[in-house]
Amino acid sequence: MKRTLLIISVLLAFTAYSNAQKYAMADMEYILKNMPSYESAKEQLDLVSKKWQQEVDAKMQEVQTLYKNYQTELVFLSEEMKVKHENEIVEKEKAAQELKKKYFGVDGELFKKRESLMKPIQDDIFAAIQEIAKKQQLDMVFDKSTSMNIVYYAPKLDISDEVLSQLGYSK
């Protein structure tokens, strides 16, 4: 009898604990795709990225042209001229690599531009999710689009449309 009572007590405690936590899902990809401000920011980033990539490619093409010309003229050049051409090629290549790093490096211009355009959008989404979580007394909100471990979730747990409504967008 004591053993049965103990087992029932443990099961009731476990059930009460598992029901105490409330979860919800939000699909960040879905939310972002339905926000015109995100699409606009993404287009701006794409345009800037293409422009900068063309600039870097032009510099690299210039280096390749210099190298091909050097290879063609190699037999006719004095040792001094060879060194001069090689140094010029190396300098141009370094300049191209520095430009690439400036635009696309870890703390490059593209990173800064992305942060300046995307951070306000992400902050708005985060604030909306926090507000909904407080209203619904949710303990956790998972991002459905990035979590590879979620095999199934009940559609009633998805708050993506509520987040869009909170942000002033409709489906």
pLDDT at 119: 93
Neighbouring-strand partners of residue 25:
142, 158
Exposed/middle/buried for residue 97 (C-beta within 10 Å: 0-12, 13-18, 19+): middle
For the chain, how many structural domains are there in total? Answer: 1
Cα dist from 19 to 54, 81, 138, 162, whole Å: 56, 80, 12, 23
HSE-up of residue 115 (Cα within 13 Å, Cβ side):
7
pLDDT at 97: 95
Is position 118 within any domain?
Answer: yes
User: CA nearest 141: which of 19, 32, 23?
Assistant: 23
Positions of the chain with pLDDT lower than 70, given as ranges: 1-20, 147-153, 171
Residue 141, domain extent: 22-166
Is position 62 within any domain?
Answer: yes
pLDDT at 76: 87
